[in-house]
Structure 1
Amino acid sequence: MPVISMFYGIIIRMYLLDNKHHGIPHIHAKYAEHEASISIADGEVLAGELPRKQLRLVQAWIELRRDELTADWELALGDEKLYKIAPL
């Protein structure tokens, strides 16, 4: 589960092990004991939950970094090494 970014105590990972459950490009965000899978396309929570403040931070980060996230998703599909993405 490669970590692609960290900011404000939030750890962002991207992995495809659970892709069958969601079927769309997404990231995994973890904050303390909370974790959520979040769509790259629109920032919607697919599974799990984050506190509201941290969710808004992750959604803002996705908006700013969508192209980089999409590129990393394509690399992940090809089983290639992912790039780190700048924090918020």
Structure 2
Amino acid sequence: MPTIKIIDTVKIDIYSREHPPPHFHAIYAEFEELIEIESLKTYVGKIPCVQRKKVTDWAKGNKEYLLEVFKQLNPRL
């Protein structure tokens, strides 16, 4: 279940066997950015600013959902 949402062609993925901190992958064309769920800061990578804003606007209102999915897929963390 990696793709949990698509926001204007940006895929939001959460994988199992992940590492802390809890994060999600925002994938747009050839770009990928890992974004921490709690702070919405970039962990690594970069997507274009316009797409990042759309993703973080959505993520602000869905942090609990993102954390729940992350914990379900990564129960040992």
| TM-score calculated relative to the size of structure 1 | 0.78
1:8 paired residue number: 8
Whether 2:40 is the aligned partner of 1:43: answer: yes
Post-superposition CA distance 1:43-81 (Å, at most 9, x none)? 1110000000111111111101011111111101238xx
Gaps of 5+ in 1: 80-88
Using structure 2 for the length normalisation, give the TM-score. 0.89
Q: CA deviation at 1:18?
A: 4.6
Runs of 4+ in 1 over 6 A off after TM superposition: none
Residue 52 (structure 2) pairs with residue 68 (structure 1): no
What percentage of aligned pairs have identical amino acids? 28
Uncovered stretches (5+) of structure 2, i.e. residues with no partner:
none
Which one has a larger percent helix, Structure 1 or Structure 2? 1
Question: What root-mean-square deviation, in Å, do the aligned CA atoms of Structure 1 and Structure 2 show?
Answer: 1.6
Aligned length: 76
Alignment of 1:22-37 (within 5 A): 23-37=20-34
Give the direction of change, closer, same or farther, for the CA distance of 1:73–1:18 in structure 2 (3 Å limit): closer
